[in-house]
Every structure is written in C-alpha cells, then in structure tokens.
Amino acid sequence: MSSTEEPSQGYVLGHTPNELDRLAVQAQLIEPITRGFFQDAGVAPGMRVLDVGSGAGDVTFLTAALVGPGGEVIGVDRSPTAVSAATDRAAAHSLENISFRVGDPAELTFGQPFDAAIGRYVLQFQTDPVTFLRGIAQHVRPGGSIVFHELDWSVGIRSLPPAPTFDRCCRWASETMRRSGVEIHMGLKLHATFVAAGLPAPTMRLEAMIGGGDHAAAPLRIIAGLARTLLPEAERLGVSEADGTDPDTLFDAMYDEVRANGSVVVGNLQLGAWSRR
C-alpha cells in the first residue's frame, strides 16, 4: 500500500524495510486487478505516464510493462526511503524508461504533460483527495486518462461459514485505519471525488480477492501482512479487538480455521475508476 506521505505526516503504514517487503508480496497478489483497471482505462504502449504515490515502484514497474520501451513512467512519492528503494530496483533491472522523484506530485512541475496519471491506494491517505486529484489532473494532457485503484472496507470483506479469526482481524485493521485518518470508504467515494475535482464522471469497476478452503491463501496473506504492520498503531490507539494478536502465527491460524470450517473468504473491495481529462 503506497502513499505520498511519511509517517510523521499521518501515513499509518510507514516505509520500513518490513513494510516495503509486505508491499512487494501484496503487489504480486493484486497485480492482475490493477493491470486490468489500467488497460481498461487506456494505458497503452508508447504512453508517458505519471505514477503518483509510487512507493517502492511496484505499480510503476507494472505500468512500464504496459507502455513498453517506447513509453515512459515517472513515479513520484513524498517518501525519500521509498523513492530510493524504487530507484535501486529499477537500476537492478536496467529499466531505462522509468524514473522516480521525491515530492508532492500535485505540486511538482514536469517538462511536458502526461498521457495518463495513475495511482493505487493513494487517495485514501490524502487529507483532501478532491484537491489532490484536481492537482494531479493538471499534469495530464487534454483527452488523457486519469485512473485510480482504491480500497473499500465497508460491505464486501467477509467469510462464510464464519472464520472468526479472519473476521476479527479485518474489523480491528479497518478500525485502526479509520482512527488513523485513512478514508476506509475511498473506493466507493471515487465517483464523487472525480466529479468534485472537475473531471467527467468516471467509469468504474469492482473486483475482490476470494478463495475457499485450501484456496483462500491469497486474501489471508494480504490481511495478515497488513495486520503485522498495523498492530503497533492498533495498540497505541487502544483498538481492543487487536489484543492477543500474534503476527507471527496469524496467517497459519486463519488458514487452519478457514480450512477446518470450509469457509470462503472475501477480501477488500478493489475499485477502479477512470475518466478523460
């Protein structure tokens, strides 16, 4: 989960080495969803793309594959730690159509407009997502694409038959995010945010990770990894439902419970929204 804010500015997840590793695992699991949103939004070979809240670069690398060697992707993040990690990764893979910058992408200047602006799990961390999105749109040429992939914690995440450990973990993780200032309903607010930012009403699509029994590992890995990152913040905020959580055994406990109960688990709602400037 990437953001354009450092922890001192309110970004609850931080950019520790463990968190960057978690993001890499998460990125592999949700990459097909993000890729589908971007392709449907018109991200294509030869385009010049701005990736906002690029974090350690996972979305930037995905997009570079979509635009090909004839395109270009510039990733921007407020975290120097994340940008340094992303730059090192790009150099290690000799990716010449990628570069990264530190700063607020809504306020930076660039040499020429972009064909598209993209972001994943970014607007939910902004104090004023409408103003932020309006600023991002100014970097995109007329007719260019603006596409964001965001989460919603409200109605989709669940298990049946109930898997109590998974359900409890999702509840306290969501509550911790909410108390930390994260907009946990950003996915379902994308339409209103685009319109308020002066953009055309977006096309939207909804997906979710789902699995049952032995095939439930992917959504469980995502929530277990997030819980590990959030646990200190949950304790600081007094989110009592997190009490007794052992991050080292959480995944195995949830996986064993889901298999024993024959449960199907549904992860967060993953929403994509896109429109033309």
Average pLDDT over residues 140-157: 93
Centre a 10 Å sphere on the Cβ of residue 159 and count the other Cβ atoms it contains. 22
Domains defined along the chain, listed by start = 7-276 (3.40.50.150)
- The tokens of 29 are what? 């699991």
Query: Distance (Å, rounded) from C-alpha 191 to C-alpha 148?
Result: 11
Query: Distance (Å, rounded) from C-alpha 49 to C-alpha 117?
Result: 6
Q: What is the pLDDT of residues 165-221, one digit of tens each?
A: 999 999 999 999 999 999 999 999 999 999 999 999 999 999 999 999 889 998 898
- The tokens of 56 are what? 């350690």
Q: What is the pLDDT of residues 23-60, one digit of tens each?
A: 667 777 899 999 999 999 999 999 999 999 998 899 99
Give me the residues paired with residue 240 across strands.
Answer: none
Q: What is the dihedral of CA 58, 62, 67, 68, to 10 degrees?
A: 100
Give the distance, in angstroms, between the CA of residue 92 and the centroid of all CA atoms in the same chain: 24
Q: Are strands 114-120 and 203-212 parallel, antiparallel or unpaired?
A: unpaired
Any idea how long the chain is? Answer: 277
Please, which residues have CB within 8 angstroms of residue 36's CB and are 6 or more apart in sequence? 205, 207, 272
> pTM of the full predicted structure?
0.89
pLDDT of 8 reads 34
Q: What is the DSSP string of 218-263?
A: HHHHHHHHHHHHHHHHHHHHT-GGGTT--TTTHHHHHHHHHHHHT-
pLDDT of 156 reads 81
pLDDT of 127 reads 93
Q: pLDDT band at residue 3, thresholds of 50, 70 and 90?
A: very low
Centre a 10 Å sphere on the Cβ of residue 79 and count the other Cβ atoms it contains. 25
Q: How many angstroms separate the most distant Cα atoms in the chain?
A: 57
Q: Are 118 and 147 in contact (CB under 8 A)?
A: yes
